[in-house]
Amino acid sequence: MKHITEEPIDIEKLMREAHHPEAGAVVIFSGEARNTHAGRKVARLEYEAQQELAEKSIEEILWNAQSRWPLKIAIAVHRLGKVEISQPAVVVITAAAHRLEAYEANFFIMDEIKSKPPIWKKEFFEDGESSWG
């Protein structure tokens, strides 16, 4: 799958695919596992998805972004499985002629990814408890 992976996300590899001769602005967002949530210490995250639907949903989100902003490149990859603290869980890269459209489209894609594809986060706390996000 293009947008869903059980392997660690290789940001540098994605960045190498994000250059375009007509793009003067490349925006990268990396959503990373944070070690606290609501005052509790988080040990790690785990993500689960309905993979076929999540893949299709992210493809649709990128297509929508490309129809709203003149993007040269739009990339989004979401990680599944165990994600350790400070590892990226999701990476979105947008490239456009100018920074405004690259920033706006990146924000839009990330917002959509948080709510639409069937992907779920489970937080594992240092006290041994866990809960679905």
Partner 1 sequence: MNVIVNMYAALKDYFPDSIELSVEAGSKISDIQTALIARNPESRSLLDQCRFAANHEFMSRDAIITDGNVVDILPPSSGG
From the list 75, 72, 67, the residue with the least C-alpha distance to 106 is 75
Q: Which of residues 34-63 bind partner 1 (CB under 8 A)?
A: 47-50, 52-54, 56
Q: Residue 51 Cβ, how far from partner 1 at the closest point, in Å?
A: 9
87 CB-near residues (< 8 Å, 6+ apart): 8, 9, 32, 33, 79
Q: Is 133 in the site for partner 1 (CB under 8 A)?
A: yes
| Alpha-carbon distances, residue 25 vs 21, 22, 111, 115 (angstroms) | 10, 9, 20, 26
Dihedral-angle region of residue 87 (phi above 0 means left; psi in -120 to 50 means alpha; beta otherwise): beta
Q: Please select the residue that binds partner 1; options are 85, 110, 124, 125, rule is CB under 8 A.
A: 110
Q: Is 82 in the site for partner 1 (CB under 8 A)?
A: no
Query: Residue 25 or residue 31: which is nearer to partner 1 going by CB?
Result: 31
Q: Residue 56 Cβ, how far from partner 1 at the closest point, in Å?
A: 8
Residues that bind partner 1 (CB under 8 A): 31, 47-50, 52-54, 56, 78, 89-90, 110, 113-122, 132-133
